[in-house]
Structure 1
Amino acid sequence: MQPQQYDITLPADYDMEIIRKRVATRGHLLDGFPGLGLKAYLIRERGALSPVAQYAPFYLWTAPEGMNSFLWGPGFQGIVDDFGRPEVRHWTGLAYEEGPASVARTAVRDVLRLPPSAGLPELMDEAVRETERLAGLDGAVCAALAVDPRRWELVRFSLWDHESPTAPGDRFEVLRLCAPHRAELPRGRQW
Protein backbone atom coordinates (compact mmCIF):
# COMPACT_ATOMS: atom_id res chain seq x y z
CA MET A 1 0.00 0.00 0.00
CA GLN A 2 1.33 3.41 -1.01
CA PRO A 3 -0.37 6.37 0.74
CA GLN A 4 -0.06 9.75 -0.98
CA GLN A 5 -1.50 13.24 -0.46
CA TYR A 6 -0.98 16.79 -1.61
CA ASP A 7 -2.52 19.89 -0.06
CA ILE A 8 -3.35 22.85 -2.26
CA THR A 9 -3.86 25.81 0.05
CA LEU A 10 -6.16 28.34 -1.55
CA PRO A 11 -6.75 32.06 -0.87
CA ALA A 12 -8.92 32.73 2.18
CA ASP A 13 -11.77 34.06 0.04
CA TYR A 14 -11.53 31.31 -2.62
CA ASP A 15 -14.90 30.15 -3.94
CA MET A 16 -14.89 26.46 -2.94
CA GLU A 17 -17.71 25.85 -5.43
CA ILE A 18 -14.96 25.87 -8.07
CA ILE A 19 -13.40 22.81 -6.41
CA ARG A 20 -16.79 21.16 -5.90
CA LYS A 21 -17.55 21.63 -9.60
CA ARG A 22 -14.09 20.34 -10.59
CA VAL A 23 -14.62 17.14 -8.59
CA ALA A 24 -18.18 16.74 -9.92
CA THR A 25 -17.06 17.03 -13.54
CA ARG A 26 -13.61 15.37 -13.43
CA GLY A 27 -13.73 12.99 -10.46
CA HIS A 28 -15.02 10.09 -12.53
CA LEU A 29 -11.86 10.10 -14.66
CA LEU A 30 -10.03 7.91 -12.11
CA ASP A 31 -12.88 5.44 -11.58
CA GLY A 32 -10.97 2.68 -13.36
CA PHE A 33 -7.39 3.83 -12.84
CA PRO A 34 -5.00 0.86 -12.59
CA GLY A 35 -3.54 0.40 -9.13
CA LEU A 36 -5.74 2.99 -7.41
CA GLY A 37 -7.06 1.46 -4.21
CA LEU A 38 -8.94 4.61 -3.29
CA LYS A 39 -8.90 8.35 -3.76
CA ALA A 40 -10.76 10.61 -1.36
CA TYR A 41 -11.42 14.04 -2.89
CA LEU A 42 -11.07 16.24 0.18
CA ILE A 43 -11.57 19.91 1.01
CA ARG A 44 -11.35 22.10 4.07
CA GLU A 45 -13.17 25.41 4.12
CA ARG A 46 -11.66 28.30 6.03
CA GLY A 47 -13.70 29.08 9.10
CA ALA A 48 -15.49 25.71 9.04
CA LEU A 49 -13.26 24.05 11.68
CA SER A 50 -10.20 24.93 9.58
CA PRO A 51 -7.81 27.89 9.55
CA VAL A 52 -7.27 27.47 5.78
CA ALA A 53 -9.11 26.69 2.56
CA GLN A 54 -7.62 23.59 0.95
CA TYR A 55 -8.10 21.00 -1.73
CA ALA A 56 -6.26 17.94 -0.40
CA PRO A 57 -6.87 14.65 -2.24
CA PHE A 58 -5.69 11.51 -0.45
CA TYR A 59 -4.76 8.29 -2.26
CA LEU A 60 -4.07 4.70 -1.30
CA TRP A 61 -2.30 2.89 -4.14
CA THR A 62 -2.06 -0.90 -4.32
CA ALA A 63 1.51 -0.64 -5.69
CA PRO A 64 4.05 2.06 -6.62
CA GLU A 65 3.43 1.54 -10.34
CA GLY A 66 -0.07 3.00 -10.07
CA MET A 67 1.14 6.02 -8.12
CA ASN A 68 3.97 6.61 -10.61
CA SER A 69 1.64 6.23 -13.58
CA PHE A 70 -0.63 8.89 -12.11
CA LEU A 71 2.15 11.33 -11.21
CA TRP A 72 3.87 11.11 -14.61
CA GLY A 73 0.65 11.04 -16.62
CA PRO A 74 -2.11 13.45 -17.65
CA GLY A 75 -4.06 13.09 -14.37
CA PHE A 76 -1.58 14.90 -12.17
CA GLN A 77 -0.62 17.26 -15.00
CA GLY A 78 -4.16 18.66 -14.77
CA ILE A 79 -3.47 19.65 -11.15
CA VAL A 80 -0.12 21.20 -12.15
CA ASP A 81 -1.74 23.13 -15.01
CA ASP A 82 -4.48 24.56 -12.79
CA PHE A 83 -2.72 25.08 -9.44
CA GLY A 84 1.04 24.74 -9.98
CA ARG A 85 3.09 21.75 -8.86
CA PRO A 86 2.22 20.95 -5.23
CA GLU A 87 4.50 19.11 -2.85
CA VAL A 88 3.35 15.48 -2.96
CA ARG A 89 3.80 13.58 0.25
CA HIS A 90 3.96 9.82 0.20
CA TRP A 91 4.59 7.44 3.02
CA THR A 92 5.47 3.84 3.75
CA GLY A 93 2.22 2.00 4.40
CA LEU A 94 2.02 0.20 7.76
CA ALA A 95 -1.59 -0.96 8.12
CA TYR A 96 -5.00 -0.78 6.51
CA GLU A 97 -8.39 -1.84 7.87
CA GLU A 98 -11.93 -1.68 6.55
CA GLY A 99 -14.68 -0.36 8.82
CA PRO A 100 -18.37 -1.17 9.16
CA ALA A 101 -19.70 1.93 7.32
CA SER A 102 -19.82 2.40 3.57
CA VAL A 103 -20.44 6.08 2.68
CA ALA A 104 -17.57 8.49 3.41
CA ARG A 105 -18.54 12.02 4.43
CA THR A 106 -15.58 13.09 6.59
CA ALA A 107 -11.87 12.33 6.56
CA VAL A 108 -9.44 12.77 9.43
CA ARG A 109 -5.66 13.02 9.09
CA ASP A 110 -3.69 12.76 12.30
CA VAL A 111 0.08 13.33 12.21
CA LEU A 112 2.10 12.15 15.21
CA ARG A 113 5.79 12.87 15.78
CA LEU A 114 7.64 9.79 17.03
CA PRO A 115 9.70 10.54 20.13
CA PRO A 116 13.42 9.92 19.48
CA SER A 117 13.87 7.92 22.66
CA ALA A 118 10.91 5.56 22.18
CA GLY A 119 11.34 2.01 20.92
CA LEU A 120 10.10 1.71 17.33
CA PRO A 121 8.74 -1.88 17.55
CA GLU A 122 6.53 -1.00 20.52
CA LEU A 123 5.37 2.28 18.96
CA MET A 124 4.49 0.60 15.67
CA ASP A 125 2.58 -2.23 17.38
CA GLU A 126 0.61 0.30 19.43
CA ALA A 127 -0.11 2.43 16.33
CA VAL A 128 -1.37 -0.60 14.39
CA ARG A 129 -3.66 -1.58 17.29
CA GLU A 130 -5.05 1.97 17.41
CA THR A 131 -5.70 1.88 13.65
CA GLU A 132 -7.56 -1.42 14.07
CA ARG A 133 -9.58 0.06 16.94
CA LEU A 134 -10.50 3.17 14.92
CA ALA A 135 -11.59 1.11 11.92
CA GLY A 136 -13.86 -0.95 14.16
CA LEU A 137 -15.78 2.04 15.52
CA ASP A 138 -19.34 2.73 14.49
CA GLY A 139 -19.30 5.04 11.47
CA ALA A 140 -15.76 4.21 10.32
CA VAL A 141 -15.38 3.47 6.60
CA CYS A 142 -11.67 2.60 6.77
CA ALA A 143 -8.41 3.54 8.46
CA ALA A 144 -4.83 3.54 7.18
CA LEU A 145 -1.53 3.99 8.99
CA ALA A 146 1.71 5.17 7.41
CA VAL A 147 5.12 6.45 8.42
CA ASP A 148 7.54 9.01 7.07
CA PRO A 149 10.91 7.61 8.20
CA ARG A 150 12.71 10.76 7.06
CA ARG A 151 10.78 12.91 9.53
CA TRP A 152 9.79 10.08 11.90
CA GLU A 153 6.11 10.93 11.71
CA LEU A 154 3.18 8.58 11.81
CA VAL A 155 0.17 9.52 9.72
CA ARG A 156 -3.19 7.97 10.48
CA PHE A 157 -5.90 8.59 7.91
CA SER A 158 -9.52 7.58 8.46
CA LEU A 159 -12.82 7.97 6.61
CA TRP A 160 -16.16 8.34 8.42
CA ASP A 161 -19.84 8.34 7.53
CA HIS A 162 -20.65 11.30 9.81
CA GLU A 163 -19.37 14.84 10.27
CA SER A 164 -18.09 14.64 13.85
CA PRO A 165 -15.87 11.59 14.35
CA THR A 166 -14.05 11.45 17.67
CA ALA A 167 -10.72 10.64 15.98
CA PRO A 168 -8.10 13.34 16.63
CA GLY A 169 -6.57 15.32 13.76
CA ASP A 170 -7.41 17.63 10.86
CA ARG A 171 -10.92 17.17 9.46
CA PHE A 172 -11.84 17.29 5.78
CA GLU A 173 -15.09 17.08 3.90
CA VAL A 174 -15.19 14.17 1.45
CA LEU A 175 -16.59 15.36 -1.88
CA ARG A 176 -16.21 12.01 -3.60
CA LEU A 177 -14.66 8.62 -2.96
CA CYS A 178 -13.23 6.75 -5.91
CA ALA A 179 -12.20 3.18 -5.09
CA PRO A 180 -11.62 1.06 -8.21
CA HIS A 181 -9.19 -1.39 -6.58
CA ARG A 182 -10.06 -1.00 -2.90
CA ALA A 183 -10.60 -4.74 -2.51
CA GLU A 184 -6.94 -5.24 -3.51
CA LEU A 185 -5.53 -3.08 -0.71
CA PRO A 186 -3.74 -5.40 1.71
CA ARG A 187 -5.47 -5.62 5.10
CA GLY A 188 -3.84 -5.53 8.50
CA ARG A 189 -0.25 -4.95 9.49
CA GLN A 190 2.10 -4.73 6.52
CA TRP A 191 5.42 -6.07 7.71
Structure 2
Amino acid sequence: MYAMHYEITLPADYDMNTIRNRVAERGHMTDAFGGLGVKAYLIRERGKAGSTLNQYAPFYLWNDTAGMNRFLWEGGGFQGIVESFGRPVVQTWSGLLCVRGEAAFTFPVSATRDRVPLAREADLANAARDAMAEVEQLAAHRSALISACAIDPRSWERVVLTLWIDNPPAAVPGERYEVLHLSRPGFDELLREAG
Protein backbone atom coordinates (compact mmCIF):
# COMPACT_ATOMS: atom_id res chain seq x y z
CA MET A 1 0.00 0.00 0.00
CA TYR A 2 1.13 3.54 -0.79
CA ALA A 3 -0.46 6.68 0.60
CA MET A 4 -0.53 9.88 -1.47
CA HIS A 5 -1.89 13.32 -0.65
CA TYR A 6 -1.76 16.84 -1.97
CA GLU A 7 -3.24 20.05 -0.66
CA ILE A 8 -4.52 22.91 -2.76
CA THR A 9 -5.00 25.92 -0.52
CA LEU A 10 -7.54 28.35 -1.96
CA PRO A 11 -8.24 32.04 -1.28
CA ALA A 12 -10.16 32.91 1.89
CA ASP A 13 -13.13 34.15 -0.17
CA TYR A 14 -13.13 31.17 -2.55
CA ASP A 15 -16.56 29.66 -3.18
CA MET A 16 -16.11 26.05 -2.08
CA ASN A 17 -19.21 25.11 -4.05
CA THR A 18 -16.89 25.31 -7.07
CA ILE A 19 -14.96 22.34 -5.64
CA ARG A 20 -18.16 20.54 -4.67
CA ASN A 21 -19.41 20.89 -8.26
CA ARG A 22 -16.05 19.78 -9.66
CA VAL A 23 -16.11 16.62 -7.55
CA ALA A 24 -19.77 15.96 -8.40
CA GLU A 25 -18.89 16.13 -12.11
CA ARG A 26 -15.53 14.33 -12.05
CA GLY A 27 -15.37 12.18 -8.92
CA HIS A 28 -16.75 9.11 -10.66
CA MET A 29 -13.70 9.07 -12.97
CA THR A 30 -11.63 7.25 -10.33
CA ASP A 31 -14.38 4.84 -9.28
CA ALA A 32 -12.83 2.06 -11.40
CA PHE A 33 -9.22 3.27 -11.62
CA GLY A 34 -6.82 0.32 -11.76
CA GLY A 35 -4.38 0.03 -8.86
CA LEU A 36 -6.33 2.48 -6.69
CA GLY A 37 -7.55 1.20 -3.36
CA VAL A 38 -9.31 4.33 -2.12
CA LYS A 39 -9.48 8.00 -3.09
CA ALA A 40 -11.15 10.31 -0.62
CA TYR A 41 -12.10 13.69 -2.11
CA LEU A 42 -11.49 15.91 0.90
CA ILE A 43 -12.05 19.59 1.57
CA ARG A 44 -11.52 21.95 4.46
CA GLU A 45 -13.72 25.02 4.55
CA ARG A 46 -12.80 28.19 6.37
CA GLY A 47 -14.90 28.63 9.51
CA LYS A 48 -16.08 25.00 9.60
CA ALA A 49 -14.78 22.15 11.78
CA GLY A 50 -12.04 24.39 13.12
CA SER A 51 -10.51 25.18 9.72
CA THR A 52 -8.90 28.56 9.16
CA LEU A 53 -8.56 28.02 5.42
CA ASN A 54 -10.20 26.73 2.27
CA GLN A 55 -8.51 23.67 0.87
CA TYR A 56 -9.06 20.89 -1.62
CA ALA A 57 -6.99 17.93 -0.41
CA PRO A 58 -7.57 14.50 -1.99
CA PHE A 59 -6.04 11.52 -0.19
CA TYR A 60 -5.23 8.24 -1.97
CA LEU A 61 -4.39 4.74 -0.84
CA TRP A 62 -2.85 2.83 -3.74
CA ASN A 63 -2.57 -0.94 -4.01
CA ASP A 64 0.37 -0.64 -6.40
CA THR A 65 2.75 1.91 -7.84
CA ALA A 66 1.71 1.15 -11.42
CA GLY A 67 -1.70 2.74 -10.83
CA MET A 68 -0.18 5.66 -8.95
CA ASN A 69 2.32 6.25 -11.75
CA ARG A 70 -0.41 6.07 -14.39
CA PHE A 71 -2.41 8.65 -12.45
CA LEU A 72 0.53 11.02 -12.01
CA TRP A 73 2.52 10.67 -15.24
CA GLU A 74 0.34 9.15 -17.93
CA GLY A 75 -2.66 11.47 -18.09
CA GLY A 76 -4.61 9.36 -15.61
CA GLY A 77 -6.16 12.30 -13.80
CA PHE A 78 -3.48 14.43 -12.15
CA GLN A 79 -3.10 16.53 -15.30
CA GLY A 80 -6.58 17.95 -14.62
CA ILE A 81 -5.40 19.18 -11.21
CA VAL A 82 -2.30 20.76 -12.76
CA GLU A 83 -4.35 22.49 -15.44
CA SER A 84 -6.87 23.87 -12.94
CA PHE A 85 -4.68 24.74 -9.95
CA GLY A 86 -1.02 24.45 -10.92
CA ARG A 87 1.25 21.64 -9.80
CA PRO A 88 0.96 20.96 -6.06
CA VAL A 89 3.54 19.15 -3.97
CA VAL A 90 2.53 15.49 -3.81
CA GLN A 91 3.31 13.80 -0.51
CA THR A 92 3.80 10.03 -0.43
CA TRP A 93 4.18 7.56 2.39
CA SER A 94 4.98 3.86 2.51
CA GLY A 95 1.87 2.10 3.79
CA LEU A 96 1.86 0.06 6.96
CA LEU A 97 -1.74 -0.96 7.58
CA CYS A 98 -5.31 -0.28 6.49
CA VAL A 99 -8.12 -1.66 8.63
CA ARG A 100 -11.81 -1.97 7.84
CA GLY A 101 -13.85 -0.21 10.48
CA GLU A 102 -17.18 -0.94 12.09
CA ALA A 103 -18.99 1.21 9.50
CA ALA A 104 -17.14 -0.10 6.43
CA PHE A 105 -20.18 -0.34 4.19
CA THR A 106 -21.48 3.18 4.75
CA PHE A 107 -20.48 6.40 2.96
CA PRO A 108 -18.10 8.62 4.96
CA VAL A 109 -18.92 12.26 5.57
CA SER A 110 -15.75 13.30 7.38
CA ALA A 111 -12.09 12.39 7.71
CA THR A 112 -9.21 13.02 10.07
CA ARG A 113 -5.60 13.17 8.97
CA ASP A 114 -2.94 13.21 11.64
CA ARG A 115 0.70 13.81 10.69
CA VAL A 116 3.36 13.30 13.35
CA PRO A 117 7.14 13.59 12.90
CA LEU A 118 9.08 10.67 14.33
CA ALA A 119 11.71 11.72 16.84
CA ARG A 120 15.29 11.25 15.65
CA GLU A 121 15.95 8.83 18.50
CA ALA A 122 12.70 6.87 17.95
CA ASP A 123 12.98 3.14 17.45
CA LEU A 124 11.46 2.68 13.98
CA ALA A 125 10.01 -0.76 14.64
CA ASN A 126 8.26 0.53 17.78
CA ALA A 127 7.04 3.64 15.92
CA ALA A 128 5.51 1.44 13.21
CA ARG A 129 3.89 -0.85 15.80
CA ASP A 130 2.49 2.18 17.67
CA ALA A 131 1.01 3.60 14.45
CA MET A 132 -0.60 0.26 13.59
CA ALA A 133 -2.01 -0.09 17.10
CA GLU A 134 -3.53 3.39 16.78
CA VAL A 135 -5.15 2.42 13.48
CA GLU A 136 -6.61 -0.74 15.04
CA GLN A 137 -8.05 1.34 17.88
CA LEU A 138 -9.53 3.97 15.54
CA ALA A 139 -11.05 1.35 13.23
CA ALA A 140 -12.80 -0.26 16.20
CA HIS A 141 -14.86 2.91 16.71
CA ARG A 142 -18.48 2.44 15.64
CA SER A 143 -18.30 5.44 13.26
CA ALA A 144 -15.06 4.49 11.47
CA LEU A 145 -15.19 3.28 7.87
CA ILE A 146 -11.45 2.70 7.50
CA SER A 147 -8.26 3.77 9.20
CA ALA A 148 -4.80 3.59 7.61
CA CYS A 149 -1.26 4.52 8.56
CA ALA A 150 1.93 5.08 6.61
CA ILE A 151 5.43 6.50 7.10
CA ASP A 152 7.50 8.75 4.86
CA PRO A 153 11.11 7.51 5.16
CA ARG A 154 12.43 10.76 3.66
CA SER A 155 11.03 13.09 6.33
CA TRP A 156 10.33 10.37 8.93
CA GLU A 157 6.77 11.49 9.30
CA ARG A 158 3.89 9.23 10.21
CA VAL A 159 0.39 9.82 8.85
CA VAL A 160 -2.92 8.31 9.99
CA LEU A 161 -6.05 8.78 7.88
CA THR A 162 -9.46 7.75 9.19
CA LEU A 163 -12.77 8.07 7.35
CA TRP A 164 -15.90 8.56 9.47
CA ILE A 165 -19.62 8.17 8.78
CA ASP A 166 -20.35 11.17 11.04
CA ASN A 167 -18.27 13.69 12.96
CA PRO A 168 -15.10 12.15 14.41
CA PRO A 169 -14.77 11.94 18.19
CA ALA A 170 -13.34 15.15 19.64
CA ALA A 171 -10.37 13.27 21.13
CA VAL A 172 -9.11 12.10 17.72
CA PRO A 173 -6.11 14.26 16.75
CA GLY A 174 -5.45 15.85 13.38
CA GLU A 175 -7.05 18.03 10.76
CA ARG A 176 -10.76 17.57 10.05
CA TYR A 177 -12.07 17.27 6.50
CA GLU A 178 -15.39 16.93 4.77
CA VAL A 179 -15.60 13.97 2.36
CA LEU A 180 -17.29 14.88 -0.93
CA HIS A 181 -16.85 11.56 -2.72
CA LEU A 182 -15.17 8.22 -2.12
CA SER A 183 -13.79 6.08 -4.92
CA ARG A 184 -12.88 2.59 -3.74
CA PRO A 185 -12.18 0.29 -6.67
CA GLY A 186 -9.55 -1.76 -4.81
CA PHE A 187 -10.98 -1.30 -1.32
CA ASP A 188 -10.97 -5.00 -0.39
CA GLU A 189 -7.36 -5.48 -1.48
CA LEU A 190 -6.18 -2.83 1.01
CA LEU A 191 -8.01 -4.04 4.02
CA ARG A 192 -8.06 -6.38 6.89
CA GLU A 193 -10.89 -6.61 9.36
CA ALA A 194 -10.68 -4.69 12.65
CA GLY A 195 -10.18 -6.76 15.79
Structure 1: segments with no counterpart, 5+ residues: none
Once the two structures are overlaid, the 10-residue window that deviates more, 120-129 or 107-116, is: 120-129
Runs of 4+ in 1 over 3 A off after TM superposition: none
SS at match of 2:146: strand
**Which of 105, 114, 121 is the aligned partner of 2:118?**
114
Can you list the C-alpha shifts for 1:101-150, whole angstroms capped at 9, x where unaligned? Answer: 12211110001111112222222212211111111111000001000111
User: Residues 139-190 of structure 1: CA distance to partner in whole angstroms, max 9, x if unpaired?
Assistant: 00000100011111100010001123332100000001110111111538xx
Aligned-partner Cα distance in 2 for 1:97–1:45 = 28
* Equivalence for 2:66: 65
1:184 equivalent in alignment to 2:189: yes
The within-5 A match list for 1:111-150 is 111-150=115-154
Q: TM-score normalized by structure 2?
A: 0.93
- Per-residue CA distance 1:79-102 (angstroms, 9 max, x = gap): 100000111111100111010112
1:160 and 1:85 map into 2 onto residues whose CA distance is 29
User: Which residue of the partner structure matches residue 39 of structure 2?
Assistant: 39
Normalised TM-score (structure 1): 0.95
Deviations 1:28-78 (A, max 9, x none): 111111011110000000111111100000001110000000001331101
Identity of aligned residues (%): 52
TM-align CA RMSD: 1.2
Structure 2 unaligned spans of 5+:
none
The yes-or-no answer on 1:80 pairing with 2:85 is no
Aligned residues: 188
Between the aligned partners of 1:121 and 1:106, the Cα distance in structure 2 is 30
* Counterpart residue identity of residue 127, structure 2: L
